[in-house]
């Protein structure tokens, strides 16, 4: 795995006395000796990378575990879970966008001036919120989380993202990338048709499963749309992803007013007398580990190449899939295994092209 900085600056700590030593005049004919990598610097770098990988692998995998645990408690908790995640991220990012008013008449803080007009965020809010809700609702329609993980792993290497990139972002793809996307698409189809075997399933359950798969498909389509909208926004207004994270969550809160009964039902299911505190602890764990996971991914992208980042994230998704099958007993068969492998390998090959 290529662990290199994206910028030209070294990520190793700088010794305050290094410059003074380097300015010492050298005798005529004296050869400069390359000190190489100092053991202390190498150890510091290794510890830093180990910490980042711990955040990504530990935080993200723990987040998936808490997520599936909540879905097993109540498969219809999707709306409450999406609302809780949206509110948590809004509260966590709000202080970065508040400023004190310069007027003497009020001491109340106000939002800082935006880098991007609010109208550019509105469409992204609708796309992001709808996609998140569909993802969290799919479990209620008997779609195992193992299949959801494979769907989400397609990511930027899906046929949807490629089509949007070709027609709207004027991207051109190599034969290798097209082959990789074909592999991912076939893998997703195999995974979808690999519904774990069990007792005889009636037509009602099959119909529910079909609805759940349609939800995931639409969510994947919306993910491609969101990625395109974000890229067009960043091209016009510069890199402002922090503002994007805040406003896509903050502006989506009014949408949940239409889902109040569903949210109450979901939160109420966590108040079971048998395990009142335990269920809310799992919910809190899901929110905190989500924050840890995002922080780890952001630090990873700032420290290593995009290829290395995708390698780590694909590995994390594979671990989450295996853990979900082992811990929660989600059905596993050869078709699911082949489909998942085609998605993971295809995604990696796409980033290597």
What percent of the chain clears pLDDT 70, i.e. is strictly above it? Answer: 79
Confidence bin at 65 (pLDDT 50/70/90) = very high
Look at the alpha carbons of 176, 182, 185, 190 in this order and tell me if their dihedral is positive or negative: negative
Query: Given this model, what pLDDT does residue 133 score?
Result: 94
Question: Domain extents for the chain?
Answer: 56-81+130-221+266-352
Is the pLDDT reported for residue 315 higher than 70? yes
Confidence bin at 308 (pLDDT 50/70/90) = confident
What is the residue-averaged pLDDT of the chain? 80
**Position with higher pLDDT, 312 vs 200:** 312
Instruction: Please answer whether residues 290 and 298 qualify as being in contact, where contact means their C-beta atoms are separated by less than 8 angstroms.
Output: no
Is the pLDDT reported for residue 325 higher than 90? no
Instruction: Please answer whether residues 149 and 324 qualify as being in contact, where contact means their C-beta atoms are separated by less than 8 angstroms.
Output: yes
SS3 assignment, position 255: helix
Is the pLDDT reported for residue 327 higher than 80? yes
Burial of 35 (0-12, 13-18, 19+ CB in 10 A): exposed
Is the pLDDT reported for residue 35 higher than 70? no
Is the pLDDT reported for residue 76 higher than 50? yes
Cα–Cα distance, 311 to 170 (Å, whole number): 26
The whole-model pTM stands at 0.77
Cα–Cα distance, 180 to 200 (Å, whole number): 36
> Quick one: angle between helices 145-154 and 306-328, nearest 10?
170
Q: What is the pLDDT of residues 210-243, one digit of tens each?
A: 999 999 999 988 988 888 888 889 889 988 888 9
């Amino acid at each position: 795995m290529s662990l290199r900085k994206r910028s030209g600056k070294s990520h190793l700590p700088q010794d305050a006395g290094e410059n003074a030593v380097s300015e010492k005049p050298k005798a005529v004919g004296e050869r400069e000796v390359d000190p190489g990598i100092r053991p202390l610097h190498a150890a510091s770098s290794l510890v830093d990378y180990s910490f980042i990988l711990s955040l990504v692998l530990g935080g993200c995998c723990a987040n998936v575990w808490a997520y599936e645990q909540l879905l097993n408690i109540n498969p219809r908790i999707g709306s409450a879970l999406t609302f809780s995640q949206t509110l948590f991220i809004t509260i966590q990012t709000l202080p970065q966008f508040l400023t004190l008013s310069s007027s003497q008449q009020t001491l109340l803080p106000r939002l800082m001036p935006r880098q991007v007009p609010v109208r550019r965020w509105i469409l992204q809010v609708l796309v992001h919120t709808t996609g998140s809700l569909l993802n969290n609702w799919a479990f209620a329609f008997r779609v195992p989380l193992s299949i959801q993980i494979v769907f989400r792993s397609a990511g930027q290497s899906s046929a949807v993202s490629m089509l949007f990139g070709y027609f709207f972002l004027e991207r051109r793809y190599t034969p290798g990338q097209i082959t990789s996307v074909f592999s991912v698409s076939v893998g997703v189809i195999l995974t979808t048709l690999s519904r774990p075997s069990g007792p005889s399933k009636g037509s009602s359950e099959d119909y529910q499963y079909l609805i759940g798969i349609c939800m995931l498909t639409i969510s994947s389509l919306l993910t491609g749309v969101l990625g395109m909208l974000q890229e067009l926004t960043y091209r016009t207004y510069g890199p402002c992803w922090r503002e994007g994270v805040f406003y896509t969550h903050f502006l989506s809160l009014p949408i949940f007013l239409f889902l109040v009964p569903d949210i109450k039902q979901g939160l109420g299911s966590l108040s079971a007398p048998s395990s009142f505190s335990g269920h809310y602890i799992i919910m809190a764990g899901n929110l905190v580990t989500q924050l840890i996971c995002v922080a780890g991914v952001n630090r990873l992208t700032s420290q290593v190449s995009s290829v290395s980042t995708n390698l780590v994230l694909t590995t994390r998704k594979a671990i989450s899939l295996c853990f979900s099958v082992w811990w929660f007993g989600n059905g596993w068969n050869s078709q699911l295994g082949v489909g998942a492998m085609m998605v993971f390998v295809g995604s990696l090959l796409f980033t290597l092209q």
